[in-house]
Amino acid sequence: MHAVVQTSSKAPNGECLAFPKKRTQIGPCFDLSWEDALRVQLEALQHNNNPYPDHGVEVMYRFANFDPFQRTKYFGRSLDLGQFERFRRVMHSPFHATLLDNSGWEVLSTLQLSETCWCARVRVWDTHRLEERAYAITLTQRLGGCYDGYWYTDRWVCEGQDVNKLWAD
Q: Which helix (H) or strand (E) holds 108?
A: strand 104-114
Query: pLDDT, tens digit, for every residue of 111-167?
Result: 999 999 999 999 999 988 899 999 999 999 999 999 999 999 999 999 988 766 665
End-to-end C-alpha distance for the chain, whole angstroms: 67
With contact defined as beta carbons under 8 Å apart, do 134 and 121 qualify?
Answer: yes
Segment 31-40, tens digit of pLDDT: 999 999 999 9
